[in-house]
């Protein structure tokens, strides 16, 4: 009985860890702009097209600089940022959305 309870607890902990990891990946991209619909005014459509253009530029922009290895990414996810290494990606566009 105790081993059965322990296996369920391990499964629940694994599922919880996976959910936490997946939620951190969900915030990686900005949300897609909402379409004003078929009844939108020309000003709303112009604003929408500007937002789509900005969204596409964010998604497809070149990323220059040092790339972290998979081991560094896992260590960052498990143990947090290390002040001696600059492996955390910086977001230049975080305040625009």
Q: For the segment 45-76, what is each residue's pLDDT rounded down to a tens digit? A: 999 999 999 988 888 877 676 666 777 777 77
pLDDT of residue 20: 77
Q: Is the pLDDT of residue 5 over 90?
A: no
What kind and span of H or E run contains 8? helix 2-26
The two three-digit tokens of residue 19, written as one number? 């959910």
Greater confidence (36 vs 20) lies with 36
CA–CA separation, 82 vs 75, rounded Å? 9
Q: Where are the domains of the chain?
A: 42-77
**What pTM was estimated for this model as a whole?**
0.42
Q: Is the pLDDT of residue 90 over 60?
A: no
Q: H helices within 27-91, ranges in order?
A: 42-60, 70-79
């Amino acid at each position: 009985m105790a081993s059965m309870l322990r296996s369920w607890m391990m499964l629940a902990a694994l599922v919880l860890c996976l959910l936490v990891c997946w939620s951190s990946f969900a915030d990686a991209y900005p949300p897609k702009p909402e379409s004003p619909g078929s009844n939108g005014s020309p000003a709303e459509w112009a604003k929408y097209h500007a937002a789509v253009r900005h969204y596409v530029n964010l998604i497809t922009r070149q990323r220059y600089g040092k790339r972290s290895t998979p081991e560094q990414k896992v260590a960052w996810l498990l143990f947090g940022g290390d002040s001696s290494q600059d492996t955390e990606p910086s977001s230049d566009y975080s305040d625009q959305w």
